[in-house]
A and B are shown apart, each in its own frame.
Chain A
Amino acid sequence: MFEFSEFLVRAERRARRMRAARATAIAVAVGAALLLAVSVARLVAPVSIADVALLYGAVAVLLAGACAFVLGWRLRVDLPRLLLRIDVAAGTEERLSSLYELRQRNGPAVLRSRIERGLTGRSIDLRQGVPLGRRALVLFSGGALGLLLAGGLVALPMGRDGNVTAATQISAARAPDAAPELLRESEEGAPALRTSEADALRTDIEAPTGEEGRSPDDALEAALGLSQVNGALDGAAAPIVELLAAQGELLADLAEILDALEEAAEQAAEGLMESLEELASRLPASALRDAVEELAAAGEGDGLAERIDAVKEAMAEQGLPPEAGDPDAASEGGESMAEPEFDLWSPPEPEGDGADPAGDGTSRQGNEGGQREAGEPVGEDEDAALIERMLGGDEGRGDEAESFLERKEPAFYDAEIEGRIGLDGEFEEFVTRGVPLEPASGDVGRSGRVVDYDALRAILDQRGLDAQERQLIERYFEAIAQGEQ
Chain B
Amino acid sequence: MINRGEFQDKLPDGVSLGVQIHDGGQRKVFEADDGGEKVVIKLMPEEDRNRAEREVAIGSTFDHPNLPRILDTEVFDVELEGEEFVWFRERFIEGETLEARGNGFDPCEALSLAADLAAAVTYLWERHTVVHRDIKPINIMVRPEGSFVLIDVGIGRHQTESSITSGLLGPGTRGHVAPEQMLPNKGRKLDSRTDLFLIGIVVYQVLVGVRPFRPERPDYETKLMAGEWPRPDGLPKPVADLLERLLGNRPHQRPSLAQATAMIDAARKELECS
Say whether A and B bind each other: no
A residues within 8 Å of B by Cβ?
Answer: none
